[in-house]
């Protein structure tokens, strides 16, 4: 039965690789738009929710990290306040798409495809690589 799990992971990796390389964005400078401006905490949280389905463009480091700070603090607050699990699940499902969209826009700011956020799913090495990419300055 373990071999079936290993084959499933291998097939998943091959499918993801095929998708990434078949939908490669255009090459060259500014292929994802102009550089994103730095924003404050409130603007980042507003952008997190207002750009709900926006997977194009760029997100600055400050916009990304302030949005992640809001997300982590909100999750800790929900856990600390002992909120019922159904409300926590609703919050997590409601913020799942904006989480992926701001991550894709942040990777665009480093001149990478948003699909590279899948690297972070392979802990611990993939997570470390993703954090390094999210912390990089913008590139053209």
Question: Could you tell me if residue 29 is inside a domain?
Answer: no
Q: Compare 68 and 120 and report the one with higher pLDDT.
A: 68
Q: How many domains in the chain?
A: 1
d(CA 11, CA 96): 25
Question: Could you tell me if residue 25 is inside a domain?
Answer: no
Of 60, 67, 63, 65, nearest to 137 (Cα)? 60
Per-residue pLDDT reduced to its tens digit, 101-119: 999 999 998 888 888 999 9
Question: In whole numbers, what is the pLDDT of the chain averaged over residues?
Answer: 84
Per-residue pLDDT reduced to its tens digit, 20-33: 555 555 565 666 77
Question: Could you tell me if residue 4 is inside a domain?
Answer: no
What confidence score (pLDDT) does residue 18 get? Answer: 61
What confidence score (pLDDT) does residue 32 get? Answer: 75
Question: Could you tell me if residue 66 is inside a domain?
Answer: yes
Question: Could you tell me if residue 1 is inside a domain?
Answer: no
| Range(s) of the domain holding residue 67 | 36-135
Question: Could you tell me if residue 92 is inside a domain?
Answer: yes
d(CA 20, CA 41): 32
Question: Could you tell me if residue 21 is inside a domain?
Answer: no
Q: Compare 103 and 34 and report the one with higher pLDDT.
A: 103
What confidence score (pLDDT) does residue 52 get? Answer: 87
d(CA 88, CA 83): 7
Mean pLDDT of 110-135: 90
Q: Is the confidence at residue 1, as pLDDT, over 60?
A: no
What confidence score (pLDDT) does residue 131 get? Answer: 92
Question: Could you tell me if residue 104 is inside a domain?
Answer: yes
d(CA 112, CA 33): 12
């Amino acid at each position: 039965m373990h071999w079936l799990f290993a084959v499933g992971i291998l097939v998943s990796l091959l499918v993801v690789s095929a998708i990434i390389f078949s939908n490669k964005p255009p090459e060259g400078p500014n292929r994802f738009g102009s550089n994103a401006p730095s924003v404050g905490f409130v603007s980042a949280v507003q952008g997190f929710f207002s750009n709900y389905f926006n997977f194009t463009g760029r997100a600055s480091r400050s916009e990304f990290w302030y949005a992640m700070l809001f997300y982590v603090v909100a999750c800790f607050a929900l856990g600390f306040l002992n909120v019922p699990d159904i409300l926590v699940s609703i919050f997590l499902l409601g913020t799942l798409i904006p989480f992926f969209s701001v991550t894709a826009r942040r990777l665009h700011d480093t001149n990478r495809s948003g699909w590279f956020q899948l690297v972070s799913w392979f802990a611990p090495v993939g997570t470390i690589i993703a954090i390094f990419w999210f912390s990089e300055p913008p590139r053209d």
